[in-house]
Amino acid sequence: MDGPGPLGDFLQARRAQLRPEDIGLPAFGPRRVAGLRREELAQLAGVSASYYTRLEQGLSRGASQEVLDAIGRALQLGDHERDHLARLADTSRRTTRIRRPRPEKVADETWDLMRAMDGVPVLVLGRRTDVLAWNSLGHALLAGHLDPLAPHNPAHRPNMSRMLFLDPHCRELYRDWNRKARAVVGNLRAAAGRHPEDLLLKELIGELTMQSPEFVALWRDHRVSPCDAASYDLHHPTVGLLTVTQQTLALVRSPEQVLVVCTARAGSSSETALALLQQAGVLQPEAGAAFSSESNSHRQGSNSNRP
Protein backbone atom coordinates (compact mmCIF):
# COMPACT_ATOMS: atom_id res chain seq x y z
CA MET A 1 0.00 0.00 0.00
CA ASP A 2 1.35 3.46 -0.87
CA GLY A 3 0.71 5.93 1.95
CA PRO A 4 -1.85 5.71 4.72
CA GLY A 5 -4.84 5.57 2.40
CA PRO A 6 -8.22 7.33 2.87
CA LEU A 7 -8.72 6.00 6.41
CA GLY A 8 -5.29 7.14 7.59
CA ASP A 9 -5.64 10.50 5.85
CA PHE A 10 -8.97 11.07 7.58
CA LEU A 11 -7.67 10.13 11.03
CA GLN A 12 -4.56 12.27 10.66
CA ALA A 13 -6.48 15.31 9.41
CA ARG A 14 -9.08 15.16 12.18
CA ARG A 15 -6.45 14.58 14.87
CA ALA A 16 -4.59 17.67 13.65
CA GLN A 17 -7.74 19.75 14.20
CA LEU A 18 -7.99 18.92 17.92
CA ARG A 19 -6.05 21.08 20.35
CA PRO A 20 -4.89 19.82 23.76
CA GLU A 21 -7.13 22.34 25.50
CA ASP A 22 -10.13 20.92 23.61
CA ILE A 23 -9.82 17.74 25.67
CA GLY A 24 -8.63 19.27 28.94
CA LEU A 25 -4.89 18.74 28.48
CA PRO A 26 -2.42 21.50 29.38
CA ALA A 27 -0.57 22.90 26.36
CA PHE A 28 3.06 23.06 27.42
CA GLY A 29 5.33 24.79 24.94
CA PRO A 30 5.43 24.53 21.16
CA ARG A 31 4.57 21.30 19.33
CA ARG A 32 6.23 19.84 16.27
CA VAL A 33 2.85 18.81 14.80
CA ALA A 34 -0.54 20.48 14.74
CA GLY A 35 -3.22 19.12 17.06
CA LEU A 36 -2.97 16.09 19.33
CA ARG A 37 -0.13 13.65 19.30
CA ARG A 38 -0.91 10.07 18.32
CA GLU A 39 -0.13 8.92 21.86
CA GLU A 40 -2.64 11.38 23.30
CA LEU A 41 -5.37 10.36 20.87
CA ALA A 42 -4.70 6.67 21.57
CA GLN A 43 -4.95 7.26 25.31
CA LEU A 44 -8.27 9.05 24.88
CA ALA A 45 -9.60 6.17 22.77
CA GLY A 46 -8.35 3.50 25.16
CA VAL A 47 -6.09 1.75 22.64
CA SER A 48 -2.35 1.30 22.54
CA ALA A 49 -0.28 3.98 20.88
CA SER A 50 1.40 1.41 18.63
CA TYR A 51 -1.95 0.04 17.46
CA TYR A 52 -3.36 3.49 16.69
CA THR A 53 -0.14 4.41 14.85
CA ARG A 54 -0.42 1.32 12.65
CA LEU A 55 -4.08 2.15 11.94
CA GLU A 56 -3.27 5.72 10.95
CA GLN A 57 -0.35 4.62 8.80
CA GLY A 58 -2.50 2.13 6.90
CA LEU A 59 -0.63 -0.88 8.34
CA SER A 60 -3.62 -2.29 10.23
CA ARG A 61 -7.01 -2.93 8.63
CA GLY A 62 -8.89 -4.92 11.26
CA ALA A 63 -10.29 -2.26 13.58
CA SER A 64 -13.48 -3.44 15.29
CA GLN A 65 -16.59 -1.31 15.48
CA GLU A 66 -15.96 -0.81 19.20
CA VAL A 67 -12.50 0.57 18.50
CA LEU A 68 -13.84 2.81 15.73
CA ASP A 69 -16.54 4.12 18.08
CA ALA A 70 -13.90 4.90 20.71
CA ILE A 71 -11.70 6.70 18.19
CA GLY A 72 -14.73 8.61 16.90
CA ARG A 73 -15.52 9.81 20.43
CA ALA A 74 -11.90 10.79 21.02
CA LEU A 75 -11.87 12.78 17.77
CA GLN A 76 -15.21 14.38 18.72
CA LEU A 77 -16.76 13.31 15.42
CA GLY A 78 -20.40 13.98 14.59
CA ASP A 79 -22.82 11.30 13.47
CA HIS A 80 -22.13 11.75 9.74
CA GLU A 81 -18.38 11.72 10.36
CA ARG A 82 -18.60 8.51 12.40
CA ASP A 83 -20.53 6.85 9.61
CA HIS A 84 -17.85 8.05 7.21
CA LEU A 85 -15.12 6.61 9.45
CA ALA A 86 -16.88 3.23 9.50
CA ARG A 87 -17.18 3.22 5.69
CA LEU A 88 -13.50 4.07 5.27
CA ALA A 89 -12.51 1.29 7.66
CA ASP A 90 -14.69 -1.20 5.81
CA THR A 91 -13.18 -0.17 2.47
CA SER A 92 -9.65 -0.57 3.85
CA ARG A 93 -10.39 -4.23 4.66
CA ARG A 94 -11.19 -5.20 1.09
CA THR A 95 -9.76 -4.71 -2.35
CA THR A 96 -11.68 -2.05 -4.24
CA ARG A 97 -11.95 -2.40 -7.99
CA ILE A 98 -12.12 1.00 -9.67
CA ARG A 99 -14.73 1.01 -12.39
CA ARG A 100 -16.47 3.48 -14.68
CA PRO A 101 -20.19 3.46 -13.83
CA ARG A 102 -23.04 3.61 -16.29
CA PRO A 103 -24.74 6.96 -16.98
CA GLU A 104 -27.40 7.80 -14.42
CA LYS A 105 -31.03 8.08 -15.51
CA VAL A 106 -34.04 9.84 -14.02
CA ALA A 107 -36.98 7.57 -13.17
CA ASP A 108 -40.43 8.23 -14.66
CA GLU A 109 -41.82 8.89 -11.18
CA THR A 110 -39.24 11.62 -10.65
CA TRP A 111 -40.16 13.31 -13.93
CA ASP A 112 -43.81 13.26 -12.85
CA LEU A 113 -42.91 14.79 -9.48
CA MET A 114 -40.92 17.57 -11.14
CA ARG A 115 -43.79 18.43 -13.47
CA ALA A 116 -46.15 18.58 -10.49
CA MET A 117 -43.89 21.09 -8.70
CA ASP A 118 -44.59 23.95 -11.09
CA GLY A 119 -43.52 27.30 -9.68
CA VAL A 120 -40.76 25.81 -7.52
CA PRO A 121 -37.09 25.58 -8.64
CA VAL A 122 -36.20 21.88 -8.72
CA LEU A 123 -33.10 19.91 -9.75
CA VAL A 124 -32.22 16.22 -9.71
CA LEU A 125 -28.60 15.52 -8.78
CA GLY A 126 -26.77 12.23 -9.16
CA ARG A 127 -24.23 10.66 -6.84
CA ARG A 128 -21.45 12.94 -8.13
CA THR A 129 -23.65 16.11 -8.10
CA ASP A 130 -24.19 15.87 -11.84
CA VAL A 131 -27.38 17.67 -12.89
CA LEU A 132 -29.56 14.86 -14.24
CA ALA A 133 -32.58 17.12 -14.74
CA TRP A 134 -33.96 20.53 -13.84
CA ASN A 135 -37.23 22.29 -14.43
CA SER A 136 -37.30 25.67 -16.14
CA LEU A 137 -37.32 27.65 -12.88
CA GLY A 138 -34.50 25.60 -11.37
CA HIS A 139 -32.43 26.22 -14.47
CA ALA A 140 -33.24 29.93 -14.47
CA LEU A 141 -32.41 30.35 -10.77
CA LEU A 142 -29.10 28.47 -10.56
CA ALA A 143 -27.72 28.15 -14.08
CA GLY A 144 -29.59 30.36 -16.52
CA HIS A 145 -26.39 31.02 -18.49
CA LEU A 146 -26.14 27.33 -19.46
CA ASP A 147 -27.98 25.42 -22.17
CA PRO A 148 -31.29 24.21 -20.64
CA LEU A 149 -30.89 20.93 -22.54
CA ALA A 150 -27.41 20.24 -21.11
CA PRO A 151 -28.57 17.59 -18.58
CA HIS A 152 -29.98 15.58 -21.49
CA ASN A 153 -26.46 14.68 -22.69
CA PRO A 154 -24.79 12.33 -20.16
CA ALA A 155 -21.33 13.13 -21.53
CA HIS A 156 -21.71 16.89 -20.97
CA ARG A 157 -24.01 17.26 -17.99
CA PRO A 158 -23.45 20.26 -15.74
CA ASN A 159 -21.96 19.36 -12.38
CA MET A 160 -22.93 21.52 -9.42
CA SER A 161 -19.61 21.02 -7.60
CA ARG A 162 -17.58 21.90 -10.70
CA MET A 163 -19.80 24.92 -11.38
CA LEU A 164 -19.42 26.24 -7.84
CA PHE A 165 -15.62 26.22 -7.94
CA LEU A 166 -14.85 26.81 -11.62
CA ASP A 167 -17.79 28.76 -13.09
CA PRO A 168 -17.60 32.52 -12.31
CA HIS A 169 -21.36 32.91 -12.81
CA CYS A 170 -22.07 30.41 -10.04
CA ARG A 171 -19.41 31.91 -7.79
CA GLU A 172 -21.04 35.32 -8.10
CA LEU A 173 -24.52 33.89 -7.45
CA TYR A 174 -23.87 33.00 -3.79
CA ARG A 175 -23.22 36.02 -1.61
CA ASP A 176 -21.58 33.79 1.04
CA TRP A 177 -19.72 31.61 -1.42
CA ASN A 178 -17.41 30.17 1.23
CA ARG A 179 -20.27 28.68 3.24
CA LYS A 180 -21.77 27.07 0.16
CA ALA A 181 -18.35 25.76 -0.86
CA ARG A 182 -17.83 24.13 2.55
CA ALA A 183 -21.20 22.40 2.26
CA VAL A 184 -20.45 21.10 -1.23
CA VAL A 185 -17.02 19.76 -0.24
CA GLY A 186 -18.45 18.08 2.86
CA ASN A 187 -21.05 16.42 0.67
CA LEU A 188 -18.40 15.25 -1.82
CA ARG A 189 -16.39 13.76 1.06
CA ALA A 190 -19.42 11.72 2.07
CA ALA A 191 -19.94 10.57 -1.53
CA ALA A 192 -16.29 9.54 -1.85
CA GLY A 193 -16.63 7.42 1.28
CA ARG A 194 -19.78 5.71 -0.03
CA HIS A 195 -18.40 5.09 -3.52
CA PRO A 196 -14.62 4.50 -3.37
CA GLU A 197 -14.82 2.52 -6.63
CA ASP A 198 -16.37 5.34 -8.69
CA LEU A 199 -13.81 6.38 -11.30
CA LEU A 200 -15.82 9.41 -12.49
CA LEU A 201 -16.05 10.70 -8.93
CA LYS A 202 -12.28 10.34 -8.55
CA GLU A 203 -11.80 12.22 -11.82
CA LEU A 204 -14.04 15.06 -10.63
CA ILE A 205 -12.15 15.39 -7.35
CA GLY A 206 -8.86 15.29 -9.25
CA GLU A 207 -10.01 18.02 -11.63
CA LEU A 208 -11.10 20.29 -8.79
CA THR A 209 -7.85 19.62 -6.94
CA MET A 210 -5.83 20.66 -9.98
CA GLN A 211 -7.85 23.78 -10.80
CA SER A 212 -9.09 25.23 -7.52
CA PRO A 213 -6.82 26.15 -4.56
CA GLU A 214 -9.98 26.83 -2.52
CA PHE A 215 -11.15 23.29 -3.11
CA VAL A 216 -7.77 21.90 -2.06
CA ALA A 217 -7.87 23.82 1.23
CA LEU A 218 -11.38 22.65 2.07
CA TRP A 219 -10.77 19.06 0.91
CA ARG A 220 -7.73 18.83 3.20
CA ASP A 221 -9.94 19.33 6.27
CA HIS A 222 -11.76 16.00 5.70
CA ARG A 223 -15.04 17.51 6.90
CA VAL A 224 -18.08 15.32 6.22
CA SER A 225 -21.46 17.05 6.10
CA PRO A 226 -24.11 15.77 3.67
CA CYS A 227 -26.31 18.57 2.33
CA ASP A 228 -29.81 18.54 3.80
CA ALA A 229 -31.36 21.98 4.22
CA ALA A 230 -29.77 25.43 4.31
CA SER A 231 -30.72 28.99 3.43
CA TYR A 232 -28.55 31.03 1.07
CA ASP A 233 -28.55 34.66 0.04
CA LEU A 234 -28.30 34.93 -3.73
CA HIS A 235 -27.48 37.79 -6.05
CA HIS A 236 -29.31 36.80 -9.21
CA PRO A 237 -28.45 38.61 -12.47
CA THR A 238 -32.14 38.93 -13.42
CA VAL A 239 -34.15 39.48 -10.21
CA GLY A 240 -31.48 40.77 -7.84
CA LEU A 241 -31.18 39.84 -4.17
CA LEU A 242 -33.20 36.97 -2.75
CA THR A 243 -32.95 34.28 -0.08
CA VAL A 244 -33.86 30.67 -0.78
CA THR A 245 -33.80 27.52 1.29
CA GLN A 246 -32.26 24.63 -0.59
CA GLN A 247 -33.65 21.32 0.67
CA THR A 248 -32.15 18.00 -0.43
CA LEU A 249 -34.74 15.23 -0.53
CA ALA A 250 -34.03 11.51 -0.94
CA LEU A 251 -35.66 9.62 -3.81
CA VAL A 252 -36.71 6.17 -2.63
CA ARG A 253 -36.87 4.70 -6.13
CA SER A 254 -33.43 6.14 -6.97
CA PRO A 255 -31.40 5.98 -3.74
CA GLU A 256 -28.24 7.48 -5.26
CA GLN A 257 -30.09 10.54 -6.54
CA VAL A 258 -31.54 13.51 -4.67
CA LEU A 259 -34.15 16.13 -5.43
CA VAL A 260 -33.00 19.67 -4.61
CA VAL A 261 -35.92 22.03 -4.00
CA CYS A 262 -35.50 25.80 -3.55
CA THR A 263 -38.18 27.64 -1.59
CA ALA A 264 -38.71 31.16 -0.26
CA ARG A 265 -40.57 32.40 2.80
CA ALA A 266 -44.26 33.00 2.16
CA GLY A 267 -45.04 36.65 1.50
CA SER A 268 -41.38 37.63 1.30
CA SER A 269 -39.65 39.69 -1.36
CA SER A 270 -37.76 36.53 -2.27
CA GLU A 271 -41.03 34.78 -3.10
CA THR A 272 -41.90 37.73 -5.31
CA ALA A 273 -38.50 37.47 -6.99
CA LEU A 274 -39.10 33.78 -7.80
CA ALA A 275 -42.49 34.66 -9.27
CA LEU A 276 -40.86 37.33 -11.44
CA LEU A 277 -38.23 34.84 -12.56
CA GLN A 278 -40.93 32.37 -13.52
CA GLN A 279 -42.77 35.09 -15.41
CA ALA A 280 -39.56 35.93 -17.29
CA GLY A 281 -39.36 32.25 -18.25
CA VAL A 282 -42.92 32.36 -19.61
CA LEU A 283 -41.99 35.35 -21.74
CA GLN A 284 -38.90 33.44 -22.93
CA PRO A 285 -40.20 29.88 -22.98
CA GLU A 286 -37.14 28.08 -24.33
CA ALA A 287 -36.18 26.53 -21.00
CA GLY A 288 -39.71 25.41 -20.20
CA ALA A 289 -40.13 23.92 -23.64
CA ALA A 290 -36.79 22.18 -23.26
CA PHE A 291 -37.84 20.62 -19.95
CA SER A 292 -41.16 19.48 -21.37
CA SER A 293 -39.46 18.07 -24.46
CA GLU A 294 -36.84 16.27 -22.40
CA SER A 295 -39.32 14.71 -19.98
CA ASN A 296 -41.64 13.63 -22.80
CA SER A 297 -38.71 12.20 -24.73
CA HIS A 298 -37.64 10.22 -21.71
CA ARG A 299 -41.18 8.96 -21.17
CA GLN A 300 -41.54 7.87 -24.78
CA GLY A 301 -38.16 6.16 -24.73
CA SER A 302 -39.08 4.33 -21.55
CA ASN A 303 -42.41 3.21 -22.95
CA SER A 304 -40.82 1.98 -26.17
CA ASN A 305 -38.76 -0.48 -24.15
CA ARG A 306 -41.76 -1.97 -22.41
CA PRO A 307 -43.45 -5.16 -23.70
| Domain final residue pick, 57, 92, 127 | 92
| Domain final residue pick, 65, 92, 119 | 92
> Does residue 305 have a pLDDT over 50?
no
pLDDT at 186: 92
258 shares its domain with 129:
yes
135 shares its domain with 54:
no
Range of the domain at 114: 108-304
pLDDT at 210: 93
145 shares its domain with 60:
no
What CATH number did the domain enclosing 19 receive?
Answer: 1.10.260.40
Q: What is the mean pLDDT of residues 34-53?
A: 84
146 shares its domain with 67:
no
| Domain final residue pick, 37, 61, 92 | 92
87 shares its domain with 112:
no
159 shares its domain with 292:
yes
215 shares its domain with 148:
yes
Q: Round to whole Å and give the CA distance between 68 and 87.
A: 11
> Is 102 inside any structural domain?
no
Q: Tell me the Ramachandran region of residue 240: left when phi exceeds 0, alpha when psi lies from -120 to 50, beta otherwise.
A: left
Total domains in the fold of the chain: 2
228 shares its domain with 147:
yes
> Does residue 303 have a pLDDT over 70?
no
> Is 259 inside any structural domain?
yes
134's enclosing H/E stretch is strand 131-134
**CA 52 vs CA 15, 78, 87, 91: distances in Å:** 12, 20, 18, 18
> Is 100 inside any structural domain?
no
78 shares its domain with 134:
no
What single-letter DSSP state applies at residue 78?
-
Q: Closest Cα to residue 7, out of 50, 55, 47, 75?
A: 55
pTM: 0.75
Read off the pLDDT of residues 84-117 as tens digits, 9 standing for 90 and up.
888 888 877 766 666 667 789 999 999 999 999 9
Contact 129, 170 (CB under 8 A): no
Contact 181, 214 (CB under 8 A): yes
84 shares its domain with 117:
no
What single-letter DSSP state applies at residue 77?
-
What CATH number did the domain enclosing 165 receive?
Answer: 3.30.450.180
One DSSP character per residue, 176-237 reads THHHHHHHHHHHHHHHHHH-TTBHHHHHHHHHHHHH-HHHHHHHTTT------EEEEEEEET
Instruction: Kindly report the number of other CB atoms within 10 A of residue 243's CB atom.
Output: 16
Sheet architecture: strand order including 131-134:
131-134, 122-125, 258-263, 240-250, 229-236
114 shares its domain with 205:
yes
